[in-house]
Structure 1
Amino acid sequence: MVAMTKRVKTLDVIFNDPSKTFYCSGEKVAGKIIVEVTQATRVLSMRVVGVGCAKVHYTKGKQRCRQETEYLKYEEVVFLDDQPIDADGSVMLRPCNTYEYRFGFELPQEGQLVSSYKGKFGSIQYFVKASMERPGQPALECKRTFEVEEPLDVCTPDLLSPTGGTKEKKVTCMFIPDGQVSLSAKIDRRGFCEGEDICINAKFENTCSRIVVPKAAITAKHIYQANGRTKVFHQKLSSVRGNHIISGMCDAWQGKTIRVPKIKPSMLGCNIIRVEYALMIYVHIPGSEKLILELPLVIGTAGLGSRTNSISSQDGSVSNSSLSWVSLRMPSVPPSYCDLEQPLTPLLDDFDGDDSPIFITTPAFQFQPPPVYTEVDEAYNGKPQMLQVC
């Protein structure tokens, strides 16, 4: 933000490395304050303040909830190099010159900062503010924000260990028991980074009379705390779905993948704002509440780097699934409907947020046409003659 008045043409904060995307704990934030004036201007002092704070603000009922937590507070008075200073410490700035006040300070060590954040009901911001004090006039201010990203390594033994669970739900129809739906799922670790694939192994069983659909989604939960109250905001980030399961049937996912989208790392160190992620594996049951199993995830900034391997495995699976199973004879093993590229026919209303209705695939056996054949006329001059039949 550049500040300007009739006397002051430019007052701006410039960092030494404007291309730097973010800072980490312990790094130095350095730069300069650029000042240009249109008339001779006396400056009493130039003060630089580094600020980092978390703010939560929302309305619950008729009550306005607000709370702040400070993570950075730095302040110093900076001076010009090789510039004469009067007895009172002031300096005279003249037009047609560009003046530079240099500053620099170190961010607190690891564990004392949290990453920058901007959400629906709160934010965590860091900025440098310059304040120019002049005699007989209000102070002139400008500020420039910078991003902080605290490293979060997911290659710890706790986050590399597998996790899973089992859930089941009894289904009723007009208070009459109608069987149950159950699922069990497992993933090989809890820690992931942006762009990595989560491999899901799961089993689903449907003994009720309805057609159910298994699904999985990566969700985010933003938790805001202020004035002793808590506000929670949920987000569905990405999802995948499986085949429908009719009554009395089972289905299994063997390494079904869902990719971690471009998201901010988990935020666990702030006492008024938290961002938590989870893999939600659930079954859509028409006319009843979903059966949901949540497996907690931690999204970090440094991980296993498995994106290349996951892409290679996906390419291999695509090439295998594209092989045609249709031949001149009925196959001994019925084909999987999910491998056929056929027109989709709506089966039932299964709209769920960003999902589309469920579809059933109608297979079509594409047998080859019979070969062109001929008939023999043996009565023609005692010699066979070939007659083509159209």
Structure 2
Amino acid sequence: MVVFKKIKSFDVVLSETSKVYCSGEKVAGRVLVEVAEVTRVTKVKVVACGVAKVLWSKGSHQCKQQMEYLRYEEMLHPEDHPVDEDGSVILRPGNRYEYKFSFELPQGPLGSSFKGKYGSVNYWVKAFLERPCQPTQEVKKPFEVVDLVDVNTPDLMCPVSARKDKKVSCMFIPDGHVKLRASINRKGFCEGDDICICADFENTCSRIVIPKAAIVAKHTYLANGETKVFTQKLCRVRGNHIISGMTDSWRGKSIRVPKIKPSILGCHILRVEYFLQIYVSVPGSRKVILDLPLVIGTTSSGFSSRSSSMASQTSSEMSWVDLNIPGTPEAPPCYLDVIPEDHRLESPTTPLLDDLDGACDSPIFIYAPEFKFMPPPTYTEVDPNDNKSINVQ
């Protein structure tokens, strides 16, 4: 029976643990080793890798592809510690040994760290510890990389527009048209930006239609000549119902970019794209859809978000109140400030049609679903004069 000598601890620690790295930046860290008994170590090596992988099953075989962004290897030696002629060292219990390493990420475009349904882009540092007549031990430490995408380039600051006209029929009988024209003032945005939508809708069919907009993510995976596409709606807004013979316009309706990964456009096997989908749900027929391309970047677009502008406005107003009317209690918050956006109603009236985005065809019948506003939370004020609490329901 072979008894393996145990290593007390073996770990990789990066100098900046929570940092997100960019191309050309230095990644530094240490390999920490502690032993429980006198141990001869013949080699300590670090390998840094950055790999994009795509994998999915198709029938009895797998579609698999790999692309390498980073490959770095380095042999390490502890500082201020004697090394034998063969390069090995003797480690003794009670001491903590450090092997320092550093390397630079390649210049130029790198795939941002990403994990999707059929593929991923991962970066990591792996350390190997070798001993005579013992199995090699290894430890892995991942780190995040982002490929900087500047949305302030001329190409991404240009307006984007499209239009569509669809003939609607019922039982093969023509039933008018649904026309849609939409535009946005630029193509590049960052997380937290508000996308201002300008759109015109015209309904000449006999049915009531519903205009909506959504930010959609599109992941494209390429392997062995095959393509796999995965799409997902991330967030959406909706407009008022448009009855037969009427039109509607959006001027200033906005949708906020949620917390999402930046676009990945330079990878040959994996692409992450986004677009603003503006569509009209037509009962008993397929949706009328317009797709306006978006590029989600990492460099600020300079567009202040709705919350930031409201926060700064509130801050300046409260400063004026504090300076001029020091004893006045603050007014209760507005309902729209305390209820999340996904619980609000865009229209004060109850919708006439059930909103079924998951189905290809909407029902032709009219529904009257029940909508209830959520009650506002309990609001408490403290009067600084007599320190009494006033509860307002």
TM range (shorter): 0.7 to 0.9
| 2:106 maps to which of 103, 108, 114 | 108
Alignment correspondent of 2:56:
58
Alignment correspondent of 2:18:
19
Seen in structure 2, the aligned counterparts of structure 1 residues 280 and 313 have a Cα distance that, compared at 3 Å, is farther
Alignment correspondent of 1:7:
6
| 1:140 maps to which of 137, 159, 183 | 137
State the TM-score, normalizing by the size of structure 1: 0.81
> Which secondary structure state, in structure 1, belongs to the residue aligned with residue 156 of structure 2?
helix
The answer to whether the Cα contact below 8 Å between 1:217 and 1:236 also exists between their aligned partners in 2 is: yes
Give, in angstroms, the shift of residue 138 of structure 1: 1.7
Seen in structure 2, the aligned counterparts of structure 1 residues 11 and 339 have a Cα distance that, compared at 3 Å, is closer
Gaps (5+ residues) in structure 1?
317-321, 323-337, 363-390
Seen in structure 2, the aligned counterparts of structure 1 residues 59 and 242 have a Cα distance that, compared at 3 Å, is same
Q: In 2, Cα distance between the equivalents of 1:143 and 1:199? A: 44
Seen in structure 2, the aligned counterparts of structure 1 residues 209 and 47 have a Cα distance that, compared at 3 Å, is same
Q: In 1, Cα distance between the equivalents of 2:310 and 2:133? A: 71
The answer to whether the Cα contact below 8 Å between 1:350 and 1:358 also exists between their aligned partners in 2 is: no
The answer to whether the Cα contact below 8 Å between 2:188 and 2:301 also exists between their aligned partners in 1 is: no
Alignment correspondent of 1:37:
35
Alignment correspondent of 2:79:
81
Give, in angstroms, the shift of residue 340 of structure 1: 7.5
Alignment correspondent of 1:131:
128
The answer to whether the Cα contact below 8 Å between 1:25 and 1:109 also exists between their aligned partners in 2 is: yes
Query: Rg larger in 1 or in 2?
Result: 1
Alignment of 1:1-390 (within 5 A): 6-20=5-19, 22-111=20-109, 113-308=110-305, 312=309, 341=348, 344=350, 347-353=352-358
> Which secondary structure state, in structure 2, belongs to the residue aligned with residue 157 of structure 1?
coil
Which amino acid is 1:307 matched to? S
Give, in angstroms, the shift of residue 351 of structure 1: 1.7
Q: In 2, Cα distance between the equivalents of 1:341 and 1:243? A: 9
Q: In 2, Cα distance between the equivalents of 1:141 and 1:95? A: 20
Which amino acid is 1:47 matched to? K
The answer to whether the Cα contact below 8 Å between 1:115 and 1:148 also exists between their aligned partners in 2 is: yes
Q: Quote the RMSD (CA, aligned, Å).
A: 2.5
Give, in angstroms, the shift of residue 309 of structure 1: 5.9
Which amino acid is 2:278 matched to? I
> Which secondary structure state, in structure 2, belongs to the residue aligned with residue 160 of structure 1?
coil
The answer to whether the Cα contact below 8 Å between 1:7 and 1:41 also exists between their aligned partners in 2 is: no
The answer to whether the Cα contact below 8 Å between 1:36 and 1:95 also exists between their aligned partners in 2 is: yes
Alignment correspondent of 2:341:
none
Q: In 2, Cα distance between the equivalents of 1:196 and 1:173? A: 41
The answer to whether the Cα contact below 8 Å between 2:214 and 2:278 also exists between their aligned partners in 1 is: yes
Which amino acid is 1:68 matched to? Q
Seen in structure 2, the aligned counterparts of structure 1 residues 117 and 339 have a Cα distance that, compared at 3 Å, is closer
**CA-to-aligned-CA distance 1:30-61 (integer Å, 9 cap, x gap):** 11100000011110011111111011111123
- How many percent of aligned residue pairs carry the same amino acid? 59
Seen in structure 2, the aligned counterparts of structure 1 residues 312 and 84 have a Cα distance that, compared at 3 Å, is closer
Which amino acid is 1:347 matched to? L
Seen in structure 2, the aligned counterparts of structure 1 residues 184 and 311 have a Cα distance that, compared at 3 Å, is farther
The answer to whether the Cα contact below 8 Å between 2:168 and 2:178 also exists between their aligned partners in 1 is: yes
Give, in angstroms, the shift of residue 114 of structure 1: 1.3
**CA-to-aligned-CA distance 1:357-388 (integer Å, 9 cap, x gap):** 986999xxxxxxxxxxxxxxxxxxxxxxxxxx
> Which secondary structure state, in structure 1, belongs to the residue aligned with residue 50 of structure 2?
strand
> Which secondary structure state, in structure 2, belongs to the residue aligned with residue 138 of structure 1?
coil
Q: In 2, Cα distance between the equivalents of 1:115 and 1:352? A: 31
Give, in angstroms, the shift of residue 304 of structure 1: 2.3
Q: In 2, Cα distance between the equivalents of 1:312 and 1:86? A: 65
Give, in angstroms, the shift of residue 270 of structure 1: 1.1
Seen in structure 2, the aligned counterparts of structure 1 residues 62 and 85 have a Cα distance that, compared at 3 Å, is same
Which amino acid is 1:163 matched to? V
State the TM-score, normalizing by the size of structure 2: 0.80
Which amino acid is 2:192 matched to? G
Gaps (5+ residues) in structure 2?
314-333, 335-344, 372-393
The answer to whether the Cα contact below 8 Å between 1:51 and 1:126 also exists between their aligned partners in 2 is: yes
Q: In 2, Cα distance between the equivalents of 1:192 and 1:85? A: 55
> Which secondary structure state, in structure 1, belongs to the residue aligned with residue 352 of structure 2?
strand
Q: How many residues align?
A: 333
